[in-house]
Structure 1
Amino acid sequence: ARVENGLVIGTTTSLPAASATVNKFLGIPFAQSPPERFSPPRAAPHVSTINATAWKPACIQQFTYPLASQQFTELVFNNPPPQESEDCLYLNIYAPATQSEDSKGLAVMFWIYGGSLEFGNAGQPTYDGSHFAGCENVIVVTTNYRTNVFGFPSSPELPLSGHNLGFLDQRFALEWVQRNIHAFGGDPTKVTIFGESAGAFSVDTLLTSFPKGSSPPFRGAILESGQYSYRPTPPTSSVPAWYNLTAELGCPGSFGSNLSCVRAASATDIQRIIDVNSLTFNPVADNITLVSNPAQRRVMGEIANIPVMGGTNAQEGRVFEVGQNNITAFLDTFFGSSPALVTAIKEAYPLGVDGLNTPYDVISQIFTEYYFQCSQALWANASAASGIPTWRYYFNASFTNTQSYPGLGVFHSSEIPIVFSTYPTVNVTTQEYALSRFMRGAWAAFAKNPANGPGWNAVGTGTGGAVLSTASDGLPGGILMGSNGTVQQGAWDLGVLGDVGNVHGSGVTVLPQSVVDGRCGLFVPVYEAILKAS
C-alpha cells in the first residue's frame, strides 16, 4: 500500500473461521518518531519503503508503586510486556485482503487503548484486529499515543495547547487515517472511533470537542467502560507532580525554568521517579482537545450529532479492589464528606445479599456502580435526551480462560478479548465462542451504519411486554420477568450481553435500564456536585 510517507510492506494472515485473508500492516509511522520530548506531533518524513511487519514498541509506560500494586497491574493489563521507547508514534492496520471492486471503501474502526492515561500499547495481542477484518469485512486501526508525563506534561513553561500531547497524538493519527486509509481499502467518511477505559474517556473528549454542525474525522463512537462527561472524581492539578519530578531529577533553577532539564534527562530516570513516587499527570482543559464543560455541551446539544454506543461490565471494580475488606474505610475515602450518604450506601449494599458475600464483594460492587456504571448511565441518557442516537450495553459474562487473576469475574477490560475474538484458544466454551461472534458482529454492524445501531433498541425507545433476545447460535439470550408475569416499567433499551440471572446467554437480551441501575440515584448528587465544582 502506498501512503503519503512511503510504500508500506505488510504481511498476510488467514484465520480458520474467516471468509477473507487479512493484510496486517504493523508499525506504520503516523508522525515523526521519536517525537521531540514534550512537543506536539509533527508529520512523518517520507521514506521509500516502510517495513510494517511487526508491532513497534509501546510508548514509555507508568506502573506506580507500591511494588505489589505495580506487579498486579502489569499482570492484568500489560501481559505480555512490550518493549518501550519514546520512538513509539506508530499505528497498525488490519484490512481484508480481498475487496469487491465496486465498493467505495470499507468502514474503519479506530481503536484507542486504555490504561489510565499512564500506560497502554496498540500492539497488545488482545487488540489484534484480524478477526474484525477477516470475519466482518471492516478495517481496524490501532494507534499508540503518549501517556503519563510524556503525554501529559504539566510544566508551567509549556503553552496550554501543549499539555495534552497524548490527545494530540490521537488526533494526528485520526487525521493520518483520513488522508491515507483509502490505500488500504477504507473509506475516510466511514470511521468509527472506539476505546476502553481511558480510551473511552479519550473518545468522549473527541465527541465533546467538535461543536454542533462541524465535521469530525469520524461518524460513530463506541465507549467501553469510560466517558468524560460525568466524572466520579474531581479533576486535580498535576503541577505539583511536575515540581516533584524536577526536584527528584535535581534540576537547578526556579520552578518556572526547568523544562530543558527534564527534556535532557534519561527516559528511564523519569520513568523510575514517576513510578516510585506515584506521580500522576492528568490532562488539562485546554478547550481544544479537552473542553471544560462536557456535560453541559452534551445536554445543550452543542456537540456534533454523532451516534454513540456505550456500556460497562457487571463487575468492573473487582480488579481495582483486590485485597480490600474494610467497607467503612472505603466509603470514607469516597463519600466521607456526607455521613448520611455513607449510611444510605451501606443500607443499599447489604452484606450477605445478592451475591455480596464478603466485604470485598460489597466494596467492588459499590466501586463498579459509582465509578463506571451509574456515570455511564447518566452519559447515555443525557446523550439520548439531547437527540443523539444512543445505544447502551451491559456486559455480564466471565470465562476461566480470560481471568488473569482468580476471582475477578466480569472485571474491567474483560470484554475486550470477547469483542476482538482474541481470547485464548484453550478451554474455550460454546458460550464464549458464540458471544464473541455476536459482540464482534454487533460492534462491526454499528461501524458499518452507526445510525442503525448495533441491533437492539436505542436508549429511550422500546416497550416492555416481551423480551427481545437474539443470539448467534440460536441459544436463548435469557428472559427476565416478575414471578407473576409483570414486566419492568419504562423503555426496554439496555442490551445485556451474556448472562441474565442463571441463564448463560450468548447474545443480547433487552431489558429496562432500571434492572441494573436501581442504586444509581444515590450517586447522582455526588456527580452533580463535582460538575458544579469543576
Structure 2
Amino acid sequence: MIGKSFLSIVFASQALAAGYGYNKRDGPGSSYGSAAPASYMTAAGSYRPVASWMSASNPYPNKPSTSKPTSAPTAVIDCGSVVGTTTSLPAATASVNKFLGLPFAQSPPQRFSPPQKIGGGSCNIDAKAWKPACIQQFVYPKLAQDFTKAIFNSPAPEESEDCLYLNLYAPASPPPPGGRAVMFWIYGGALQFGNAGQAYYDGSSFAAYEDVIVVTSNYRTNVFGFATSPELPIAEQNLGFLDQRAGLDWVQRNIAAFGGSPKKVTIFGESAGGFSVDSLLTSFPANSTPPFRGAIMESGQFSYNAQPRLSTVPLWNQLAGLLNCTTNYSSNLTCLRAANASAIKNAIEVNMLEFNPVADNVTLVRNPMQQRLSGNIAHIPTLGGSNAQEGRVFAVGTINSTTFLSQTLGQHSTAIQSLGSAYAPYRASNGSEAYDQVSEIVTEFVFQCPAAYHANATASVGIPAWRYYFNASFSNTQAYPNLGVYHASEIPIVFSTYPRVNVTAQEYALSRAMRGMWATFARNPAGGPGWNPVGSGKPGDVLVGAMSEAEGGLIMNGNETFYGGYNVGVLGNRGDALSSGVTIIDGSEIDHRCGLYAARYNANANIDPA
C-alpha cells in the first residue's frame, strides 16, 4: 500500500504527463512513439475514457457478441427473492446468470457506522443493473483528478452512501455435487476510490469458461470507509474492512442459492484489494476457520510496507475544521455526520486528505510482518505477484530522480545515492533516464520485492505459496501511451475483459491461460495454479509474458543471489521470446536488488494504532 505523500506526488506527476505531453521512450508492445493512437483520444485531444474502448461483454477477437438475454434466473436468499439475467458468450458451453446490485448489508442509519445485517424477507430484488459506487475520492490537482477518473472511473457511476451491494456471475448449468468454487473480488484504488461495477471486473468469462462463480463487492473507502475519529471505538473505524467482511458473510449465508459452496471461497484482489486480502489473512489466527480457503494477491499485500503508515487523526481534525465544526458543534463526529456528503468529498479531494486504516487488531494487525513470520495467520494457500513495470504509471513526469525519490520515498541523500548506483546506468540529470530509473525503483521497492519477501515468508512457516511475475503488454490495453506492463494492466487479461479491437493471438491466448490458472487455483488452492510452490526445491516461480532488454526488461544472467533463491512463475514473455503461458525462473533473476530494501520494510513493520 502506498502512503499519502507518494500518492500525492504520483497523481501530480500524472497531471504533468496528461497536460504537457509524454515523450519518454516506448514501453514494450508499443508501436506508436510519443503520440497516443487516435482511438485513445477525443477530437479535442483529451484522453478518451477507458469505457469507450473496453468491453466486458465480448472480449474475444473478430467474433460478434452473442451475449444476449434469455430467460430470467431467480434465486431465493435469506432476505427474499432475486431476479437476474442470463447471457451467453462466444463458444461457451454454459450460459451465465448475472445478478447485479444485490444488497449484502444494510447501509447504517448514520454515517461512520458499521454495516448492518439485512432482516429476513426485506428484499425482493430486480438484480439486473449495477448499483451506485460508494463515495470516491480522486486527489487534486484538477488535471490529475480528471486523468485518474478517465482511466479508473469511466463512465462515472452514480455515487451514494447507500452503496453496500455486490454483483454475482454464475454458470447457468446445474452445479456439481458439493457446489462450485467461488472467487470473491476486492477492487483496488488506494483505499480512496473503487467500484465493483467496473466493466473490467465483469466475471462472465470466469463463469462461462472456467465453471466458477465470481462475486464483486463494494466497500467504503477514504474517510467514509476509514473514519479515524477519536470519538469512535477503534473497532469501528475500519468500516471499509468491515464492509468486506460483511460481503464474505453474505457469501457464506447465500452462495448455495446460486450453485456455489461456502466452503470453496477464494478471495482475490489487486493493489489495495491485495492489501485487503492480506489484511484478512493476517487477522485470522492459525487455529481459526476463515470464510475462505484460498487467497490471490495481485500487485498488493500488507505484510511488507514501503511507506510508514502514520496516524490520520490529525486529518480528521483538519477535515472538521474545514467544515467549521469547531464553530457550530461541540463534537466533530456529530458535525461530520450531519455534513453534506458532497461537502466532505470536496474537502478531502481539494485538500488531499487521504485517510488510512488503523491497527485495531480485529481487521488489521499492528505488525503484519511479524505476524506472518510467526505463522500465526490463516493457514491458507496463496498466489501472489506483481507486474514487470508497475512504477511506470507512478513515475510519469519525473524530471529528476533524486527529487522524486526524496519526496515520495522519504530516503536520505546517502540512501538515494546508493539506489542510483544500484540502478545504473541511469543518470538523474536526464529526464528520460530519470523516469526509467524511478519507475524501476518504484516497481521493485513498492511491489515486486514485497511480493518476493511475502511469498518467501509464507513458505517459511509451512503455508503453500505460489508467486507469479506478469510481463506482457498489449497496445489495446495501454491506459495511455508507453506505459508497458503498468500497474493494474493484468486485470483485463485475468478477467478476459480486454478490448475487442487490435487483439493479438498472444493476448487472446495469455488471457485464456491466466484466467485458467486463477480458476485452477480457486478450484483447488492446495494444488496451486499449475506449477510448483515457492520453497519446494523444485522449479516453480512463474513468469507471465516476458520482454527483451531492448524493450525495457531486465534479464539477468542467473549468477546473482537473493536471500534464499526460489521459483517464480513468469506469465508472458521472457528474453526475446513471446509467450502465451508460463515460464519457470529462479527468483534471483529478477530479485537481486531486493536486499537494498529489507531495512526499510523492517522499519515500517509496525502500524500506528490511531
TM-score (norm 1): 0.93
In the TM superposition, what is the alpha-carbon distance from 1:502 to its structure 2 partner?
A: 1.6
- Partner deviation per Cα, 1:287-333 (whole Å, 9 max, x = no partner): 00011011111111111210001000001111112111211112323
Amino acid at match of 2:238: N
Distance 2:295 2:483 in 1: 28
Distance in 2 (alpha carbons) for counterparts of 1:271 and 1:363: 31
Q: Structure 1 residues 18, 256: closer, same or farther in 2, change over 3 A? A: farther
Q: Are 1:73 and 2:143 an aligned pair?
A: no
Q: Whole-Å Cα distance in 2 between the matches of residues 181 and 533 of structure 1?
A: 35
Cα offset, 1:358, TM superposition: 2.2
| Partners of 2:543 and 2:569 within 8 A in 1 | no
3-state SS, counterpart of residue 383 of structure 1: helix
Contact 1:231/1:527, CA 8 A, preserved across alignment: yes
Percent of aligned positions that are identical: 61
Q: What's the secondary structure of 2:469's corresponding residue?
A: strand
Instruction: Tell me how far 1:503 sits from its aligned partner.
Output: 1.2
The secondary structure found in structure 2 opposite 1:262 is helix
- Partner Cα distance (1:330, 1:215) in 2: 44
Structure 2 residue corresponding to 1:395, chosen from 464, 470, 473? 470
Deviation at 1:491, TM superposition (A): 5.4
The residue identity in structure 1 corresponding to 2:510 is L
User: Distance between the aligned counterparts of 1:184 and 1:467, measured in 2?
Assistant: 35
Q: 1:316, 1:412 within 8 Å by CA — same for their partners in 2?
A: yes
Residue 522 of structure 1 pairs with residue 577 of structure 2 = no
CA distance in 2, matches of 1:26, 1:341: 50
**Which of these residues, 489, 497, 507, is aligned with residue 571 of structure 2?**
497
The answer (yes or no) to whether the contact 2:469–2:542 under 8 Å persists in 1 is no
The CA deviation string for residues 194-237 of structure 1, in whole angstroms up to 9 with x for no partner, is 00000000001100000011100000000000111111001111
Give the structure 2 partner of residue 9 of structure 1: 83
Q: Does 1:458 align with 2:511?
A: no
Q: Which residue of 431, 448, 452 maps to 2:506?
A: 431
User: How far apart, CA to CA, are the structure 2 residues paired with 1:272 and 1:236?
Assistant: 23
**1:267-416 maps to which residues of 2 (within 5 A)?**
267-334=341-408, 337-351=411-425, 358-416=433-491
The answer as to whether partners of 1:35 and 1:41 remain within 8 angstroms in 2 is: no
Would the aligned equivalents of 2:317 and 2:332 in 1 still touch at CA under 8 Å? no
Q: Distance in 1 between matches of 2:607 and 2:311?
A: 14
User: Secondary structure, in 3 states, of the residue corresponding to 2:518?
Assistant: helix
CA-CA distance at 1:34 after TM superposition: 6.3
CA distance in 1, matches of 2:112, 2:281: 25
Amino acid paired to 2:470: F
- Counterpart residue number, 2:584: 510
Q: What SS is found at the alignment partner of 1:523?
A: helix
CA contact 1:156–1:256 (8 Å) conserved in 2: no
1:23–1:96: 8 Å Cα contact kept in structure 2? yes
1:81 maps to amino acid: A
Q: Look up the match of 2:7.
A: none
What letter matches 1:257 in structure 2? S
Q: CA deviation at 1:99?
A: 2.1
Contact 1:114-1:195 at 8 Å conserved across structures: yes
Residues 532, 538 of structure 2: 8 Å contact kept: no
Aligned partners of 2:266 and 2:294 also within 8 Å: yes
Please give the alpha-carbon distance, in whole angstroms, between the structure 2 residues aligned to 1:337 and 1:167.
31
Query: 1:234-267 CA deviation, whole Å, 9 max, x = no partner?
Result: 1111111111111111113599712111111111
Aligned to 1:252, the other structure's residue is in SS state helix
Offset of 1:486 from its aligned partner? 8.7
| Residue of 90, 93, 118 corresponding to 1:44 | 118
Identify if the C-alpha distance between structure 1 residues 468 and 387 changes in structure 2 by more than 3 Å, giving closer, same or farther.
closer
Q: CA deviation at 1:80?
A: 2.4
2:283 corresponds to which residue? 209
Q: Work out the CA distance in 2 between the residues paired with 1:257 and 1:158.
A: 11
Moved more, 388-397 or 342-351: 342-351
How far off is 1:532 after superposition?
Answer: 5.9
Change (3 A) 1:468 1:42: closer
* Distance in 2 between residues matched to 1:214 and 1:57, nearest whole Å: 34
Q: Bigger shift: 433-442 or 455-464?
A: 455-464
Maintained 8 Å contact 1:75/1:404: no
Q: Tell me, what secondary structure is at the counterpart of 2:147?
A: helix
Superimposed CA distance per residue, residues 487-526 of structure 1 (whole angstroms, 9 cap, x where no aligned partner): 9997551000001112111001010011111111111111
CA 40–126 in structure 1, closer or farther in 2 if over 3 Å, else same: same
How far is the alpha carbon of 1:336 from its aligned partner? 5.4
Residue 533 of structure 1, CA deviation? 8.2
Verify the 8 A CA contact 2:561 2:592 in the aligned structure 1.
Answer: no
1:371 positional shift: 0.8
Relative to 1, partners in 2 of residues 1:469 and 1:379: Cα closer, same or farther, differing over 3 Å? Answer: closer
Distance in 1 (CA, whole Å) between partners of 2:328 and 2:314 is 14
Deviations 1:378-415 (A, max 9, x none): 11111111111000000000111111111111111000
1:444 aligned to which of 519, 525, 531? 519
Aligned partners of 2:139 and 2:543: how far apart in 1? 43
Q: 1:468 to 1:269 in 2, by over 3 A?
A: closer
1:162-183 Cα shifts (integer Å, max 9, x gaps): 1000000000010010010000
Structure 2 unaligned runs (5+)?
1-74, 546-553
Is the 8 Å Cα contact of residues 128 and 420 (structure 1) preserved in structure 2?
yes
Q: Which amino acid aligns with 1:383?
A: T
Aligned to 2:138, which of 44, 63, 84? 63
Of residues 432-441 and 344-353 in structure 1, the stretch that sits farther from structure 2 once superposed is: 344-353
Contact persistence 2:188–2:269 (CA under 8 A): yes
Deviation at 1:462, TM superposition (A): 4.3
Report SS of the residue matched to 2:325.
Answer: coil
Matched letter for residue 72 of structure 1: F
Contact 1:230 1:378 in 2 (8 A): yes
How many residue pairs match? The answer is 521
Distance 1:326 1:274, change over 3 A: same
* Aligned-partner Cα distance in 2 for 1:504–1:290: 41
Q: Spell out, residue by residue over 1:263-285, the C-alpha distance to the aligned partner (whole angstroms, 9 max, x if none).
A: 11111111111100000111000
